[in-house]
């Protein structure tokens, strides 16, 4: 429940109702901003997937959503994005940022995702992430972030 810094101000039931309504409105505003963030991340990711040469099927796996949902979002805009979906979107953009830091030439940054890597037992970062688990995406991101700091 929303707590006022001036508890003596709220004395009547109508003021309590207003505070409860305010709490609900603030929750709805936060939800709207979270959805706007997801929409912006999804648009950025569409561009990224195009640069990585990812198919719709692969994009759906990376996003953690059904193929038909991915295609609907791609054509009509993002629907309700779960916290896991949002985490996937954020981490994929983190991978992109790390790649752009490691490789100054954009072409190398975009092709790295398909290049086999000894750190991933000889498979590419994309192949690893297509395992479908958020943990796979996190593993690639952590590896790249370690490369950024020279660890």
Looking at per-residue pLDDT, the higher value among 63 and 46 belongs to 63
In the predicted structure, residue 12 carries a pLDDT above the cut 50: no
pLDDT at residue 45, rounded to an integer: 78
Q: Which residues contact 87 (CB under 8 A, 6 or more apart)?
A: 134
Give the contacts of 124 (CB within 8 A, at least 6 positions apart): 113, 114, 115, 116, 117
Distance CA 35, CA 16 (A): 29
Using 50, 70 and 90 to split pLDDT, how confident is the model at 64? very high
DSSP 124: B
Residue appearing with tokens 């752009």 = 100
- As a whole number of angstroms, the distance between CA 95 and CA 141 comes to 5
pTM for this entry = 0.70
> Considering the chain, what percentage of its residues have pLDDT values greater than 70?
71
pLDDT score for 38:
62
Taking the domains of the chain in order of start, what are their residue ranges?
A: 13-149
**pLDDT tens, residue by residue, 67-115:** 999 898 888 776 777 888 888 888 998 999 999 999 989 999 999 999 9
């Amino acid at each position: 429940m929303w707590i006022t810094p001036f508890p003596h101000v709220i004395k009547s039931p109508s003021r309590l109702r207003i505070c409860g309504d305010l709490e609900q409105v603030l929750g709805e505003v936060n939800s709207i901003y979270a959805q706007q963030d997801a929409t912006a991340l999804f648009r950025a990711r569409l561009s990224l997937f195009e640069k990585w040469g990812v198919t719709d099927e692969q994009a759906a796996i990376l996003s953690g959503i059904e193929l038909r949902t991915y295609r609907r979002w791609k054509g009509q805009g993002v629907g309700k994005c779960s916290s896991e979906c949002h985490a996937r979107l954020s981490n994929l953009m983190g991978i992109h940022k790390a790649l752009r830091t490691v490789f100054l030439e954009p072409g190398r940054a975009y092709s790295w995702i398909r290049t086999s890597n000894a750190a991933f037992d000889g498979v590419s970062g994309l192949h690893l992430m297509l395992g479908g688990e958020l943990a796979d995406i996190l593993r690639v991101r952590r590896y790249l972030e370690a490369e950024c700091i020279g660890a």
